């Protein structure tokens, strides 16, 4: 395929790295670049040669939607019927996906290059975690495992030992690519290698792969299998343009996979260079928003990428913000003044947003009684929200002014755990403020899931008297005869079909709100992943998963829900809100006493070690530095979610305070919080106003008291 316009003959390969600050339109930049490629070639066939990789399924869908809208708005009407059909056929095959989806496609297609079943199934963390625990027990029974563990146990308590293994698991790219530095870290790595070997064997029995496997196996095939040349040839033949979005969230292993795929491009030789075709890579991201270090993401990869692409590189920095008001932009720039890299990448407000109605307030509470202070802080937040609604403060949507609604407001926090989170929920409910928790944990502690677990256990295990009694006294209202009837049917159809038929027959779906329906559907999806296992094994796994693993509730986020969004800063990334409350400021600053695996990437020496001082002060210092930089980036992400109104609150101690308090408190006089008049009244909320999360509309379990604070179904069962 040749471009319809004259190309620069000096270089057919191009490489761009775009550092795009918050609100500068990263996704729009990529879709515009892809559209420009289409315009140059004037044929839909060129779109088959575009591969765009992004961080999440949601981001991939958004990118596709934006590109399709641009195509249909600017091109489609001018095409004849034949051209429209050709374009539609190509658009259906657009390669815009996550790195995991792309790896999955490669492994299924070229499965014969690795020892995997082409019909493998991707499993969630819970099931993978159960198998990982089994692998731990297997290894600790071996002689080598026992000896290694004896050495390690001199340094760590048993429960701490497991957390260390999990930190190895979370940082798998660094562990996979680097080498252990330090005596204890070396022994941990030997043990971890044995455990992951057994973990892989257990997964292979059922043709399971988890998300980490997709990356590791893809890399191993590309790096170690001499026959992988056919993958590289296929890639070179079918891809001309690679786009990587949200590069700050990319981990080392993902970048190594991309480097292997474009290896021939970087050499300056190969079929494309010889034929004079245009080809290239565009990397877009913002190192200032790299907040997933705990998953292995590395902001330093920008420097690594620049070095790799240096012979062809064109760099660009986007700083014009199309999200926030001038007041908020100035505030963010002042908070991060003289901090690298913010000092060289200060945000610039766009003309359109300069004069947006805007306000910033900071309310720092001081004193000794944390519980009383927290109550004051949350009451201030609730009253402030009600005052905004009452005064109908203006917000802008698509350039048009309208009064603020609950859906325009987000409450952000560093972490959701802690004894005060329940207090905040209670106060929001008491003040009549509808809210929805985005990505909330505690899936297996939700009442509808406890009911489903009880139903599952009662059906598959006649001796489980607790679960049996539970469902008899639940909204299912099933007697012994009915349960026995469904047990017999279970011999002919799957457990999922049985549960669905029971729900249909009892009209359970109609009694659930949006969140509860979504949670039940998610439970059935997770259950489906274990369909190859015998029922007794699934029951055993479910008990362990419910007891030991955190699972987020089903995501029901919708801009159309008229409810305040309650998010962690991590889950708010990529979102924007007219009004943001950043609360619990004291939580920002990181736990510098936490023990962790630290990765160090130096020229010819990629290594990692444990952050405790017995492995050397170097790793401890690196951990503290990396931790502080990550906390700064988290604060930047939090502040840049707001477009018009920003309210910040937290507790300040007399002595030691966290990083966020120290960075924000110096502005508390300039942006002092206004007094709220006592006349602000609570809203008498009607049941029908909000469908999701606000109220549980039915008593799922009529007689059984599920003790508050119990952390799992297992604990409830003991009660």
Q: What is the tens place of the pLDDT at every residue in 180-197?
A: 666 667 777 788 888 899
pLDDT digits (tens, 9 = 90+) for 144-192: 777 777 776 666 666 667 667 766 666 666 666 666 666 667 777 788 8
Q: Under a CB-based contact definition with an 8 Å cutoff, are residues 364 and 663 in contact?
A: no
553 DSSP assignment: P
**At 586, is the secondary structure helix, strand, or coil?**
helix
Q: What pLDDT, in 10s, does the model give residues 253-307?
A: 999 999 999 998 888 777 777 777 889 999 999 999 999 987 878 888 999 999 9
d(CA 473, CA 704): 8
Element (H, E) at 307: helix 301-308
The overall average pLDDT reported for the chain is 84
d(CA 53, CA 99): 6
CB 385 within 8 A of CB 409: yes
Instruction: Using alpha carbons only, give the angle 437, 441, 446 rounded to the nearest 5 degrees.
Output: 90
What pLDDT sits at residue 570?
Answer: 92
Q: Tell me the per-residue pLDDT of 436-452, one tens digit each, with 9 for 90 and over.
A: 888 767 788 888 999 99
- CA 602 to CA 615: how far, in whole Å? 18
CA distance 246 to 18: 10
**Burial (CB count <10 Å: 0-12, 13-18, 19+), residue 581:** buried
Mean pLDDT computed over 401-429: 91
**DSSP 8-state secondary structure symbol assigned to residue 8:** P
Cα 52 to Cα 64: distance, rounded to the nearest angstrom: 10
**φ/ψ of residue 600, rounded to 5:** -125, 120
CA–CA distance, 711 with 717 (Å, rounded to integer): 11
541 within 8 A of 130, measured Cβ to Cβ: yes
Cα dihedral 112, 114, 115, 120 sign: negative
What sign does the CA torsion over 319, 255, 259, 28 have? Answer: negative
CB 347 within 8 A of CB 329: yes
Going by DSSP bridges, is the β-strand pair 597-602/605-610 parallel, antiparallel, or unpaired? Answer: antiparallel
Could you tell me the pTM of the whole model? 0.85
**pLDDT-based confidence at residue 677 (cuts at 50, 70, 90):** confident
Element (H, E) at 537: helix 535-548
Give percent above pLDDT 70 in the chain: 83
Burial string for 355-382 (b: 16+ CB within 10 Å, else e) reads: ebebbbbbbbbeeeeeeebbbbbbebbb
**Residues sharing a CB contact under 8 Å with residue 350, sequence separation 6 or more, in sequence order:** 320, 321, 322
**CA–CA distance, 45 with 482 (Å, rounded to integer):** 59
Residues 411-420, mean pLDDT to the nearest whole number? 86
The end-to-end CA distance of the chain, in Å, is 69
Is residue 695 pLDDT above 50, yes or no? no
pLDDT for residue 700 is more than 50 = no
Secondary structure E strands in 194-339 = 208-209, 241-244, 279-285, 313-318, 320-321
Percentage of the chain beyond pLDDT 90 is 51
547 to 100, 218, 542, 712: CA distances (angstroms): 28, 33, 8, 5
The DSSP code for 587 is: G
Q: Structural domains in the chain?
A: 13-111+215-318 (3.40.50.300), 124-206 (no CATH), 326-438+558-588+638-665 (3.40.50.300), 443-551+698-718 (1.10.486)
Query: What is the band of 689 on the pLDDT scale with cuts at 50, 70, 90?
Result: very low
Is 690 a residue whose pLDDT tops 60? no
User: pLDDT tens digits for 77-111?
Assistant: 888 898 889 888 888 889 999 999 999 999 999 99
- pLDDT given for residue 515 in this prediction: 82
Question: Residue 665 pLDDT > 80, yes or no?
Answer: yes
pLDDT recorded at residue 199: 93
Cβ burial of 719 (10 Å; 0-12, 13-18, 19+) is exposed
């Amino acid at each position: 395929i040749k471009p319809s316009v004259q190309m620069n003959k000096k270089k057919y390969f191009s490489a761009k790295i775009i550092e795009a600050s918050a609100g500068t339109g990263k996704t729009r930049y990529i879709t515009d670049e892809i559209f420009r490629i289409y315009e140059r070639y004037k044929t839909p066939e060129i779109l088959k040669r575009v591969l765009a990789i992004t961080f999440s399924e949601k981001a991939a869908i958004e990118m596709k939607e934006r590109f399709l809208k641009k195509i249909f708005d600017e091109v489609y009407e001018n095409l004849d019927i034949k051209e429209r059909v050709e374009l539609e056929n190509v658009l259906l095959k657009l390669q815009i996906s996550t790195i995991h989806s792309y790896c999955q496609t490669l492994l299924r297609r070229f499965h014969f290059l690795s020892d995997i079943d082409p019909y493998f199934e991707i499993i969630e963390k819970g099931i993978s975690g159960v198998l990982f625990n089994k692998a731990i027990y297997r290894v600790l029974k071996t002689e080598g495992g026992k000896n290694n563990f004896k050495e390690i146990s001199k340094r760590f308590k048993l429960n701490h030992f497991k957390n260390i293994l999990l930190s190895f698991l979370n940082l798998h790219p660094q562990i996979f690519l680097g080498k252990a530095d330090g005596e204890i870290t070396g022994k941990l790595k030997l043990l971890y290698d044995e455990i992951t070997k057994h973990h892989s064997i257990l997964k292979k029995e059922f043709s399971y792969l988890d998300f980490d496997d997709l990356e590791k196996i893809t890399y191993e095939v590309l790096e170690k299998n001499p026959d992988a040349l056919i993958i590289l040839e296929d890639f070179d033949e079918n891809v001309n343009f690679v786009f990587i979005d949200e590069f700050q969230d990319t981990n080392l292993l993902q970048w190594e996979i991309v480097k292997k795929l474009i290896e021939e491009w970087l050499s300056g030789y190969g079929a494309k260079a010889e034929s004079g075709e245009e080809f290239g890579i565009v990397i877009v991201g913002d190192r200032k928003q790299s907040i997933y270090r705990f998953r292995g993401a590395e902001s330093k990869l920008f420097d690594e990428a620049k070095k790799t692409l240096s012979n062809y590189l064109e760099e660009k920095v986007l700083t014009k913000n199309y999200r926030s008001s001038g007041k908020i932009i100035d505030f963010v720039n002042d908070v991060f003044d003289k901090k690298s890299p913010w000092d060289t990448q200060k945000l610039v407000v766009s003309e359109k947003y300069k004069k947006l109605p805007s306000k910033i307030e900071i309310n720092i509470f001081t004193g000794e009684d944390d519980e009383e202070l927290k109550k004051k802080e949350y009451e201030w937040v609730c009253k402030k929200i009600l005052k905004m609604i009452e005064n109908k403060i203006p917000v802008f949507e698509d350039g048009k002014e309208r009064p603020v609604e609950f859906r325009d407001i987000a409450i952000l926090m560093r972490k959701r755990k802690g004894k005060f989170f329940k207090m905040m929920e209670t106060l929001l409910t008491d003040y009549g403020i509808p809210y929805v928790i985005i990505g909330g944990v505690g899936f297996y502690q939700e009442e509808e899931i406890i009911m489903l677990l009880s139903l599952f256990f009662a059906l598959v295990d006649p001796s489980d008297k607790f679960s049996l009694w539970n469902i008899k006294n639940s909204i299912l209202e099933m007697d012994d005869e009915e349960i026995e009837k469904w047990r017999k049917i279970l011999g002919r159809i799957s457990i999922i079909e049985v549960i669905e038929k029971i729900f249909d027959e009892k009209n359970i779906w109609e009694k659930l709100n949006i969140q509860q329906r979504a949670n039940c559907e998610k439970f059935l999806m997770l259950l489906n992943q274990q369909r190859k296992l015998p029922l007794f094994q699934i029951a055993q796994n479910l008990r362990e998963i419910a007891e030991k693993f955190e699972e987020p509730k089903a995501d029901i986020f919708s801009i159309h829900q008229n409810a305040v969004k309650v998010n962690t800063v991590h889950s708010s990334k990529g979102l924007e809100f007219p009004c943001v409350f950043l609360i619990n400021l004291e939580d920002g600053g990181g736990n510098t006493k936490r023990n962790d695996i630290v990765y160090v990437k130096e020229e010819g020496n990629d290594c990692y070690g444990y952050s405790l001082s017995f492995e050397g002060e170097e790793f401890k210092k690196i951990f503290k530095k990396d931790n502080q930089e990550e906390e700064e980036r988290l604060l930047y992400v939090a502040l840049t979610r707001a477009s018009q109104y920003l309210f910040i609150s937290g507790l300040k101690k007399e002595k030691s305070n966290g990083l966020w308090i120290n960075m924000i408190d110096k502005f508390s006089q300039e942006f002092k919080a206004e007094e709220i008049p006592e006349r602000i009244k609570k809203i008498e909320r009607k049941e029908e106003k909000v469908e999701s999360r606000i109220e549980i509309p039915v008593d799922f379990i009529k007689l059984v008291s599920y003790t508050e604070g119990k952390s799992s179904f297992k604990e409830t069962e003991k009660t």
